[in-house]
């Protein structure tokens, strides 16, 4: 496939992806309630646009439109800064309603589709790239995130860029490419906190495979990530009077996922039970960072007291995230995150099919000499994200591009096998049909042969 044909095909797929996402957010899932995090992101976006910086008050939650609030604001690090900054750019352009911000997120979804296509082309050629982009365009677990106004919309393309940067470093190692990988990891961490794990799960294995200047490349990559995170971390230390590397949201999650219900109640094992945090004495603390630390200590203390249940809870979290255990609970909870139920069930079926195709696809990619360590690192990141949070398919996001690309290898190989079989059949001469005419011709040719030999 010529490069120009690949570009035209990718552009057509991106237009399809945009149309599908707009149809989903404006028609199919337009009546779903906005998740709680979406309100916080929107309030932060308005606060940034109005010149208040990363700050809000819980009193803002009573307003449908954050712009209508005149409540005094206070500094916060409830979420990393990059996605609210992206939304603030839309607010500056006049895109202020929830529906308009969902449309803004659709642009990020289209970027994810294009990048997955480029990743597929990088690893397996033009055909794999086109198939990967096509799958990403119609894959529900990817396009449903664009209807929730949460950080995953920005996190997804950054994850794919990190994979591309890792493969570029593997192919032609250099300090600049190592620094580029570190910068992208920093941007991912400034979008979702667990993105910082990419240093250990993606950058470290890649640099280990490079025989020359490993230590220098590792230091350059880590330093680039640290430089990206430093302004936000310093700002948090000044504004909150506490060391907060990325966000204060993790403590609340720990309190809501390490309690009696999530350890012993069969309905919630490995899941989340928000009342565990909402009835905590930690809520009496005014300082956001102190409150987060209190929540974190509460969750850790419960886990230590019930350490014998931790392996079971961890296994349940992973099984829920990969929709092996109680997928119906995942679908119901997903409706609170802008995921339409029927589309989500279709997503489960497509996801299962792609996983089946991705297994032989990984084997085929390995046989073709594709290094799999970056892809494995993304899969492990998805598992780690689930283990530190709870079992919800939302946290499987780092694995979705990997599943799509590896399944594309399997699909392309299947089509090649089918084409080869058809060509082989067409080359095999057909046997003469049974009948008197063919039989007489055969006998005559045999008699002529014997006469010639005589």
Does residue 440 carry a pLDDT above 80?
A: no
Does residue 406 carry a pLDDT above 80?
A: yes
* pLDDT confidence of residue 289: 86
Between 160 and 47, name the one with better pLDDT. 160
* pLDDT confidence of residue 287: 81
**Residue 126 contacts by C-beta under 8 Å, 6 or more apart in sequence?**
1, 3, 5, 6
Does residue 290 carry a pLDDT above 90?
A: no
Does residue 38 carry a pLDDT above 90?
A: no
Q: Work out the number of other CB atoms within 10 angstroms of the CB of residue 373.
A: 16
pLDDT digits (tens, 9 = 90+) for 65-118: 555 554 556 888 889 999 999 999 999 999 888 889 999 999 999 999 999 999
Three-point CA angle 237, 232, 216, nearest 5°: 110
> Mean pLDDT, to the nearest integer, of 292-309?
93
- List Cα–Cα distances, 390 to 296, 311, 318, in angstroms: 14, 13, 8
Does residue 436 carry a pLDDT above 80?
A: no
Q: Work out the number of other CB atoms within 10 angstroms of the CB of residue 117.
A: 33
* pLDDT confidence of residue 281: 87
* pLDDT confidence of residue 447: 44
- Spatial distance between the Cα atoms of 303 and 288, rounded to a whole number of angstroms: 23
- Spatial distance between the Cα atoms of 97 and 269, rounded to a whole number of angstroms: 37
* pLDDT confidence of residue 393: 93
Between 64 and 202, name the one with better pLDDT. 202
34 touches 342 (CB < 8 A) = no
Residue showing tokens 């992206």? 86
Q: pTM score > 0.85 for this model?
A: yes
Tokens at 22, concatenated: 């707009």
Does residue 441 carry a pLDDT above 50?
A: no
Nearest residue to 386 via CA among 245, 257, 255, 251: 257
Task: State the Cα torsion 351-354-356-362 to the nearest 10°.
Answer: -130
- Alpha helices, H only, 337-399: 341-367, 373-388
Residue showing tokens 């930690």? 282
* pLDDT confidence of residue 430: 58
Between 272 and 52, name the one with better pLDDT. 272
373 touches 158 (CB < 8 A) = no
Residue showing tokens 């079926």? 349
pLDDT digits (tens, 9 = 90+) for 326-370: 999 999 998 888 888 999 999 999 999 999 999 999 999 999 999
* pLDDT confidence of residue 173: 94
154 touches 82 (CB < 8 A) = yes
Between 380 and 244, name the one with better pLDDT. 380
- Spatial distance between the Cα atoms of 375 and 352, rounded to a whole number of angstroms: 18
- Alpha helices, H only, 144-267: 152-171, 175-189, 198, 204-208, 214-240, 249-257, 260-264
* pLDDT confidence of residue 155: 97
* pLDDT confidence of residue 279: 84
Most confident of 53-57, 293-297, 374-378: 374-378
Does residue 10 carry a pLDDT above 70?
A: yes
φ, ψ dihedrals at 335, nearest 5° = -65, -25
pLDDT digits (tens, 9 = 90+) for 154-171: 999 999 999 999 999 999
Assign 415 a pLDDT band (cuts: 50, 70, 90): confident
Ranges 26-35, 82-91, 229-238: which has the least confidence: 26-35
pLDDT digits (tens, 9 = 90+) for 109-150: 999 999 999 999 999 999 999 999 999 999 999 999 988 889
Percent of the chain whose predicted confidence (pLDDT) is above 70: 90
- Spatial distance between the Cα atoms of 114 and 133, rounded to a whole number of angstroms: 6
pLDDT digits (tens, 9 = 90+) for 191-230: 999 999 999 999 999 999 998 889 999 999 999 999 999 9
Tokens at 117, concatenated: 């296509």
Q: Any idea what DSSP says for residue 55? A: B
φ, ψ dihedrals at 103, nearest 5° = -65, -40
* pLDDT confidence of residue 34: 72
* pLDDT confidence of residue 439: 33
Assign 306 a pLDDT band (cuts: 50, 70, 90): very high
Q: Is 325 helix (H, G, I), strand (E, B) or coil?
A: coil
Does residue 22 carry a pLDDT above 60?
A: yes
* pLDDT confidence of residue 67: 56
């Amino acid at each position: 496939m010529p490069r120009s044909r690949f570009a035209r095909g990718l552009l057509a797929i991106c237009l399809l992806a945009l149309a599908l996402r707009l149809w989903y957010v404006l028609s199919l899932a337009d009546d779903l309630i906005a998740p709680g995090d979406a309100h916080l992101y929107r309030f932060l976006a308005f606060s940034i646009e109005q010149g208040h910086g990363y700050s809000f008050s819980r009193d803002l939650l009573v307003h449908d439109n954050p712009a209508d609030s005149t409540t005094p604001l206070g500094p916060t690090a409830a979420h990393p800064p990059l996605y609210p900054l992206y939304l603030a750019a839309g607010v500056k352009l006049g895109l202020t309603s929830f529906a308009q911000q969902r449309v803004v997120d659709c642009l990020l979804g289209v970027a994810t589709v294009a990048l997955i296509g480029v990743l597929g082309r990088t690893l397996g050629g033009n055909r794999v790239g086109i198939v990967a982009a096509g799958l990403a365009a119609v894959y529900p677990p990817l396009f449903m995130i664009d209807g929730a106004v949460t950080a995953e919309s920005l996190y997804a393309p950054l994850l794919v860029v990190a994979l591309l940067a890792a493969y570029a470093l593997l192919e032609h190692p250099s300090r600049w490419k190592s620094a580029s990988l570190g910068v992208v990891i920093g941007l991912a961490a400034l979008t979702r906190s667990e993105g910082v794990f990419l240093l250990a799960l993606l950058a470290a294995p890649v640099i280990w495979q490079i025989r020359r200047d490993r230590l220098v490349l590792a230091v350059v990559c880590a330093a680039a990530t640290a430089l990206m995170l430093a302004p936000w971390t310093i700002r948090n230390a000044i504004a909150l009077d506490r060391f907060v590397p990325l966000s204060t949201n993790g403590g609340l999650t720990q309190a809501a996922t390490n309690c009696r219900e999530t350890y012993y109640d069969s309905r919630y094992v490995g899941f989340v039970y928000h009342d565990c945090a909402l009835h905590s004495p930690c809520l009496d603390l005014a300082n956001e960072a102190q409150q987060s630390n209190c929540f974190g200590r509460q969750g850790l203390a419960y886990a230590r007291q019930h350490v014998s249940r931790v392996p079971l809870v961890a296994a349940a979290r992973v099984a829920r995230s990969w929709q092996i255990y109680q997928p119906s609970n995942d679908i119901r909870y997903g409706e609170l995150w802008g995921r339409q139920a029927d589309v989500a069930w279709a997503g489960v079926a497509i996801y299962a099919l792609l996983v089946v195709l991705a297994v032989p696809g990984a084997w085929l990619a390995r046989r073709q000499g594709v290094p799999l360590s970056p892809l494995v690192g993304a899969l492990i990141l998805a598992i780690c994200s689930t283990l530190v949070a709870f079992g919800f398919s939302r946290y499987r996001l780092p694995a979705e591009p990997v599943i799509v690309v590896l399944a594309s290898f399997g699909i392309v190989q299947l089509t090649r096998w089918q084409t080869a079989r058809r060509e082989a059949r067409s080359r095999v001469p057909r046997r003469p049909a049974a009948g008197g005419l063919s039989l007489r011709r055969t006998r005559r040719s045999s008699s002529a042969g014997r006469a010639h030999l005589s």
